[in-house]
Amino acid sequence: MRWTFGVEPLAQSLPVASLLRRVTGLVLSLEAPHAAVDRLAAALQSAEAELRGLVPASEAPRVGQNVASDGRAYIDHSRDIGAYNPCFPAYEIRVDGDRASGTVSFPIAYEGPPGIVHGGFLAVFFDSVIQHHNCDVGVAGKTTSLTVHYRRPTPLLTELQFDVERALDDRRIASSARLMAGGVVLCEAQMNAVAGSRDKLPEVSPRRAG
């Protein structure tokens, strides 16, 4: 059974996440100021003011001892976080038991050195796909360590391949992953996580009407 924890993202958030990533790249690529950016900023400020009055009073998530609070609903982070949150990378993954593989392309928003993906985003990517794998297999838990080895610069705007393998004992999940370009390894990661128990997960509040 797939592992989930939290509420589904709103369908409206999916196109917004993708759009924000693309527009960020365009703004960062401009050669000179343009009125379109001023209009964009004004539209975002207007949306911010309107949305501020629609969200819960507290920014803390309604989880565990805060499940009955005035906080926000907690969105499921078990898989595909980048689909609804532009701060996380989007990818395609195929899970086959203790192995998984897929593809990813990093847009300009994740640039560090010229034309190269920032190493911090690569760590976020590895944590995301490894936990996605764990959650799809059905046994997941908190990350206890994540080590990333950078072998070669990882290019932006390029379709890359990755694979993941994992081993499970009674208490721990050990995973290893590679990110590649045409078979050449760009970086590798090793991650350890606690093998969690579903019946010990804290309560999560559903979304509230109105």
- For 10-49, how does the pLDDT look when each residue is reduced to its tens digit (9 = 90+)? 999 999 999 999 999 999 999 999 999 999 999 999 999 9
- Region 143-147 average pLDDT: 97
Rg (CA), the chain: 19
Does residue 9 surpass a pLDDT of 80?
yes
The two structure tokens encoding residue 2: 């797939």
Does residue 199 surpass a pLDDT of 90?
no
The verdict on residue 3 lying in a domain is no
φ and ψ at residue 140, rounded to 5 degrees: -140, 180
Q: ∠ at Cα 62 (81, 204), nearest 5°?
A: 70
| pLDDT for the residue numbered 170 | 78
- Region 136-163 average pLDDT: 97
Percent of the chain with pLDDT over 70: 100
The verdict on residue 35 lying in a domain is yes
The verdict on residue 103 lying in a domain is yes
Residue with tokens 């993708």: 18
DSSP string, 92-104: EEEEETTEEEEEE
Q: 128 Cβ partners below 8 Å, 6+ apart?
A: 81, 82, 88, 89, 91
- Name the domain count of the chain: 1
The verdict on residue 24 lying in a domain is yes
Rounded to two decimals, the pTM is: 0.95
The verdict on residue 207 lying in a domain is no
Domain harbouring 112, CATH code: 3.10.129.10
The verdict on residue 82 lying in a domain is yes
The verdict on residue 206 lying in a domain is no
- Region 101-113 average pLDDT: 98
Give the residue ranges of DSSP H helices in the chain: 13-29, 35-52, 119-137
86: closest CA among 159, 24, 42?
Answer: 24
Does residue 210 surpass a pLDDT of 80?
no
The verdict on residue 108 lying in a domain is yes
Please give the residue range of the domain that contains residue 148. Answer: 13-200
| pLDDT for the residue numbered 129 | 98
